Amino acid sequence: MFRSFLGAAMALVITYNQALAQDVGLTEDLSSVSVEVAGKLVTIERNQDTSAQLSGDFIKTSRPCPPFCIAPISAAPGVETVGELEVIAFLESAVASGTGLLIDSRLPEWFQKGTIPGAVNVPFSTLDAANPYRDQILVALGGRNGSGAWDFSAARELMLFCNGPWCEQSRHAIDDLVEVGYPADKLHYYRGGMQLWLLLGLTVETPNA
Amino acid sequence: MYRIVILAAGFLVALGGLLFLQGGERDPRDLAADPGLDAVAVTGVETMSAPRVTPQAAGSDLDMSALSAAVSASVAPVPTPTPTPTPEADAMRQVTAAVLASLGGAGAPASSRTGGDLETLIAQSMARGQSDAYVEALLSEAVTTGGLQVPEAMMTPDGRLDTRTLLASIVARSTGTSDAEIDALRAEAVAGGHLTAPAGATTQARSYVVEEGDSLAYIALIFYKDAGQYDRIFEANRDRLESPAMIRVGQRLRIPG
């Protein structure tokens, strides 16, 4: 009897220590998430330093508007707006299985400075109708151009983000995709973008580091 | 392993040759915007907030078009669309190429970090002794993600790329001594019991039953030793084939002599 009590007490101590190992979790029950994206393991967790603060490009409160205006919650009719947990869930399901892409719609120099792990860079300007090579990208996303009309029934689910609520680039990209016929229910908008991702101390990947 | 080395060599020779041939057709502006130079400085595009393309990404554009050309040429000449280059379009082409390169890896910052383009990946995996299956998976992925355009005759009944025929044809084109590779495929077909003639001999079979994983190009390869002759089989079976990509498992095809 005494031994089993001791055993239970030990087990409790061990669990408690494990809980202590991660002070800053994603949610109450989830400390980190690891996903395999294109053969590479990506781990998303939060900065464990509880005294950490934002620095660099993301501490400003006031940027000139236009162009850095406040984005509405909804990017376009039928396009779902999501938060961080949905981004992580999307990586775990759609991106890991290859049926979806997490798209960083900023320009390459921003992408290179740091992005959400598992994201690919499709700058918003490449989805503009003015890009003469846009069709190749639409094909790469899974679109088919039969007799002049695009068919996106087999196309991948996309989740787009840019620098955050003060950034209009992902909305431009979403507008252009909807205009060419990409189904709104295959599009998702992470409005928080890099600004909120960083604010929450979530893992950032530097693509060419 | 030996086979992998042959494939690697053949593939790289074919690519090299195509790159060399393509050199003549390139617009001088392309050269001006070559890796190492700042694409923006050359073209001066304002509307795009000055996109900058990494040299690596620009290089892989070239490789991809060479690769696409290699694939097309190995079966039938398929013209590659080349929009008229303007300075804006040139800059856009490079950014687009970078996008396509990253999409080609199916959401893989990982692969762009380790060298990026398909050619490098294949060369690297071969150097590391990866299996044929791995290399085939790479090719397959490049096609399904749209980085590579493949003629319909290379599609299998389940809609996948017939990589064994593709690799065999690339080797055939580059070395000119393809018999070993093709004979191996024929031997496989005989062992599988769906080709009656002995490997290497002119086949007496006048019809062929489609198996899983076959493509018209494959059938042309084992009957005519030339994947490019798939058209003869397609023409002879027009009544039952909507397109060269639409063959079905179990379907009996006429093989013209």
Full 3-state SS string of B57-96 = HHHHHHHHHHHHHHHHHHHCCCCCCCCCCCHHHHHHHHHH
User: How large is the ipTM?
Assistant: 0.79
**In this complex, which of A38, A133, A140 lies closest to B93 when CB atoms are compared?**
A133
Amino acid B212 reads E
Residue of A nearest to B109 (CA): A207
Cβ–Cβ contact B52 with A under 8 A: yes
A123 vs B94, residue with greater confidence: A123
Q: What is the pLDDT of residues B76-85, one digit of tens each?
A: 333 444 445 5
Residues with Cβ within 8 Å of residue B247, at least 6 apart in sequence: B156, B157, B210, B214, B215, B216, B241, B253
- State the Cα–Cα distance between residues A164 and A168, nearest whole angstrom: 8
In chain B, the percentage of residues whose pLDDT exceeds 90 is: 0
Find the radius of gyration of the CA atoms of chain B: 20
Q: Mean of the pLDDT values across residues B207-235?
A: 80
User: How many A×B Cβ pairs under 8 Å?
Assistant: 108
Predicted confidence band at B220 (pLDDT cuts at 50, 70, 90)?
A: confident
Q: Is A163 helix (H, G, I), strand (E, B) or coil?
A: coil
Look at residue A85 in the predicted model and tell me its pLDDT: 98
Look at residue B172 in the predicted model and tell me its pLDDT: 54
Task: Please answer whether residues B129 and B123 qualify as being in contact, where contact means their C-beta atoms are separated by less than 8 angstroms.
Answer: no
- State the Cα–Cα distance between residues A186 and B227, nearest whole angstrom: 39
**In this complex, which of A98, A133, A142 lies closest to B96 when CB atoms are compared?**
A133
- State the Cα–Cα distance between residues A121 and A101, nearest whole angstrom: 10
Question: Does residue B101 carry a pLDDT above 80?
Answer: yes
B194 vs A98, residue with greater confidence: A98
- State the Cα–Cα distance between residues A59 and B206, nearest whole angstrom: 74
Length of chain A, in residues: 209
- Closest Cα to residue B101, out of B121, B87, B79? B121
If one counts every other C-beta atom within 10 angstroms of the C-beta of residue B131, the result is 12
A42 vs B203, residue with greater confidence: A42
Q: Which of A90-104, A160-174, B9-23 has the lowest average pLDDT?
A: B9-23
**What DSSP line would sit under A186-201, residue for residue?**
GEEEETTHHHHHHHTT
- State the Cα–Cα distance between residues B137 and A98, nearest whole angstrom: 14
Chain centroid offset of residue B76 CA: 12
Task: Please answer whether residues B101 and B57 qualify as being in contact, where contact means their C-beta atoms are separated by less than 8 angstroms.
Answer: yes
Residue B155, strand partner residues: B161
Chain centroid offset of residue A187 CA: 13
Range among A148-152, A169-173, B137-141, B146-150 with highest mean pLDDT value:
A169-173
If one counts every other C-beta atom within 10 angstroms of the C-beta of residue B247, the result is 26
B19 vs B184, residue with greater confidence: B184
Residue A23, strand partner residues: none
Q: What is the pLDDT of residues A30-77, one digit of tens each?
A: 999 999 988 889 999 999 999 999 998 899 999 999 999 999 999 999
Predicted confidence band at B10 (pLDDT cuts at 50, 70, 90)?
A: low
CB contact under 8 A, A126 and B99: yes
- State the Cα–Cα distance between residues A132 and A147, nearest whole angstrom: 18
Residues with Cβ within 8 Å of residue A113, at least 6 apart in sequence: A57, A206
Average pLDDT score, chain B: 59
Q: Which of A123-127, A164-168, A197-201, B62-66 has the lowest average pLDDT?
A: B62-66
Cβ–Cβ contact B109 with A under 8 A: yes
Contacts of A39 in chain B (CB under 8 A): 108, 110-111
Question: Does residue B146 carry a pLDDT above 70?
Answer: no
